[in-house]
Amino acid sequence: MATTLFFSSIAQFLQIYLVLLLIRVLLSWFPVDWSNPVLSVLSQLTDPYLNLFRSIIPPLGGLDLSPMLGFFLLQFLAQAMTRLAF
């Protein structure tokens, strides 16, 4: 019972973080003021994770593909946690 709760909580956290990443990536396509307190918090929560992948996959012609790798990894982990929970 406790392990089910643990793994399902981790999976839920990862799903929420995936949504935050999606919002961050979508907002990067528009001219937004990142000094806005809400956007600043979003940036502080997501940029360290994305920077891990930016060092692996540099931008190609102005297109940053690193979030794709980040999304794939988080989605894989979330699915693994869900499977472990049940």
**What spatial distance separates the first Cα and last Cα of the chain, rounded to whole Å?**
10
81: Cβ–Cβ under 8 A, 6 or more apart, which residues? 7, 8, 10, 11, 14
Share of the chain above pLDDT 90, in %: 71
In the structure, what pLDDT confidence band is assigned to residue 2 with cuts at 50, 70 and 90?
confident
Does the structure show a pLDDT above 90 at 42? yes
Query: pLDDT tens, 67-82?
Result: 999 999 999 999 999 8
What mean pLDDT comes out for the span 19-24?
A: 96
Name the band, by pLDDT with cuts 50, 70 and 90, for residue 49: very high
**What was the pLDDT predicted at 11?**
92
Residue 84: per-residue pLDDT: 86
Residue 1 clears pLDDT 80, i.e. is over it: no
Domain boundaries, the chain: 2-85
What sign results for the dihedral spanned by CA atoms 6, 78, 28, 52?
Answer: positive
What gap in Å lies between CA 21 and CA 45, rounded to an integer? Answer: 9
